[in-house]
Amino acid sequence: MTAGAGGTGGPAGGPAAGGSGQSWVLRQVRPLGGDPVDVLLTDGVVAAWRPAGSTGPDSDGLPPGTTILDTAGLIMLPGLVDLHTHLREPGREDAETVESGTRAAALGGYTTVFAMANTNPVADTAGVVEQVWRLGLDAGHCDVRPVGAVTVGLAGERLAELGAMATSAAEVRVFSDDGHCVSDALLMRRALEYVKAFDGVIAQHAEEPRLTAGAQMNEGAMAARLGLPGWPAVAEEAIIARDALLAGHVGSRLHVCHVSTAGSVDLIRWAKAKGWQVTAEVTPHHLLLTDDLVSSFDPVYKVNPPLRTAADVAALRAGLADGTIDCVATDHAPHALEDKETEWAAARPGMLGLQTALSVVMETMVIPGHLDWAGVADRMALAPARIGGLPRPAAQRWSSIAVGAPATVTLLDPSPWRVVEADALASRSRNTPYAGRSLPGAIRATFLRGRPTVLDGKVV
């Protein structure tokens, strides 16, 4: 991708304030992988689609200072939205900060991340969610939407002040005790009901705690071999079934985090068939990796919920393809080296995901033909934006790429395969399970309301 100054002069590239006058032409770009066009981004919106290759420095109608980018062959997608990111700040800034995590997000094609609440202090008050939100604004790499804790201190005992978080500057709409399950059925029912008042959604980490006490990996043949305590599929499925019934009963919205088993896909399909407002996400790693990897005892493969079997992977791909699973969410979970460079049982669960998500989805869904690029746009941008309740004026057009929509887009070069290097990632942590693995595709540019956050594969 090369940038050339527009016919009327002015600076080429360089950061511009959101929605400011800087204009860009994406020459011969392929919206959703379709036929090439020239796309004009002006004043923070998609201003025009023109015939491919028709726009040059001397073309009519270009605002002063327009930069023309040769984007031939690149696929234009709406800016990706991640419903499930751990930014670790406040509390574990050694593992990740809002700045480093959102930098990784932009490089991965993301323009919005939902920051999970399991920080220290926990994001269970208006004060903490506003702090995270402001750190996101300051960093400027993408929009940060804090997730509020459902219960005080994630302790699962009493509701946090959900309303205060909803009406704070951070405008929290997604509430989750992620990392912990809201296992008390009555508390879960109340939370589901309560957030209806401000169109919130409870994002459940589905894990029956008694069935997973001490669990280290998927319960099955591999766990039997390795002598690691098993995390049974039923511990996830029992909670999903219960919560779907609760959501149906009280008419509330339920979102299921990181669905990992074939049985869970069946349950969500069933809940949707009932007409209940149940949505679900799957992580890239559950679409690609299996529990065979645990035989190395390398904790880089330790994650919660754990890696499952090839049959689960197949069911998750099918569920994402047919829309049973609404979206892909990374569960980006940075951990300091000392929390991973240990024996398996002592290691903390979690994997990096932001900079590899689109590549993994390309490998597992696009290349095998389960999803086209419009499908990818839906599962990685439009659906998560809808579930996350991004602010209403934008919601109808949010992350769309039609004329008039916000110029919030990402440009993917689908042709290269690259070997993932942990040290080359923007995260402060190194716990990627893909190190040394070759993945397809590379993000070349990301625009947030007309302002580039990434150009030529580098943070602006």
Catalytically active residues are: 331
Rounded Cα distance between 205 and 319, Å, is 18
Residues 332 and 263 sit within 8 Å (Cβ to Cβ): no
Rounded Cα distance between 321 and 247, Å, is 24
By CB under 8 A, name the one of 72, 211, 226, 318 that touches another protein.
226
Q: Considering only the stretches 87-95, 147-155, 328-336, 341-349, report the one whose residues sit in contact with another protein under the rule CB under 8 A.
A: 341-349
Which residue do the tokens 């379709």 mark? Answer: 34
If binding is defined by CB under 8 A, does position 223 make contact with another protein?
yes
If binding is defined by CB under 8 A, does position 448 make contact with another protein?
no
Residue closer to another protein, measured from CB, 116 or 223: 223
If binding is defined by CB under 8 A, does position 345 make contact with another protein?
yes
By CB under 8 A, name the one of 2, 58, 60, 227 that touches another protein.
227
**Residue type, position 220, single letter:** G
How big, in percent rounded to 5, are the helix, strand and coil portions of the chain? 35, 20, 45
If binding is defined by CB under 8 A, does position 297 make contact with another protein?
yes
Q: Considering only the stretches 19-27, 33-41, 340-348, 452-460, report the one whose residues sit in contact with another protein under the rule CB under 8 A.
A: 340-348
If binding is defined by CB under 8 A, does position 341 make contact with another protein?
yes
Rounded Cα distance between 393 and 387, Å, is 15
Rounded Cα distance between 29 and 75, Å, is 6
Output the smallest distance, CB 285 to another protein, in A: 20
* Adjacency order of strands within the sheet including 174-175: 174-175, 201-204, 254-256, 278-282, 327-328
Output the smallest distance, CB 239 to another protein, in A: 19
Output the smallest distance, CB 443 to another protein, in A: 33
If binding is defined by CB under 8 A, does position 154 make contact with another protein?
no
Strand pairing category for 278-282 and 45-51: unpaired
Residue closer to another protein, measured from CB, 313 or 442: 313
Output the smallest distance, CB 92 to another protein, in A: 17
- Among 109, 113, 74, which residue's Cα sits nearest to residue 333? 113
Output the smallest distance, CB 219 to another protein, in A: 5
By CB under 8 A, name the one of 31, 36, 101, 230 that touches another protein.
230
List the beta bridge partners of residue 217: 230
Rounded Cα distance between 418 and 401, Å, is 27
Output the smallest distance, CB 220 to another protein, in A: 5
- Tell me the residue length of the chain: 460
Q: Considering only the stretches 130-138, 161-169, 344-352, 363-371, report the one whose residues sit in contact with another protein under the rule CB under 8 A.
A: 344-352
If binding is defined by CB under 8 A, does position 311 make contact with another protein?
no
Size of the site for another protein (CB under 8 A): 24
Rounded Cα distance between 362 and 441, Å, is 7
Burial label, 226 (beta-carbon count in 10 A; 0-12, 13-18, 19+)? middle
Residue 356 dihedral angles phi and psi, to the nearest 5°: -120, -5
By CB under 8 A, name the one of 155, 314, 346, 395 that touches another protein.
346
- Interface ranges with another protein (CB under 8 A): 216, 219-230, 232, 296-298, 338, 341-346
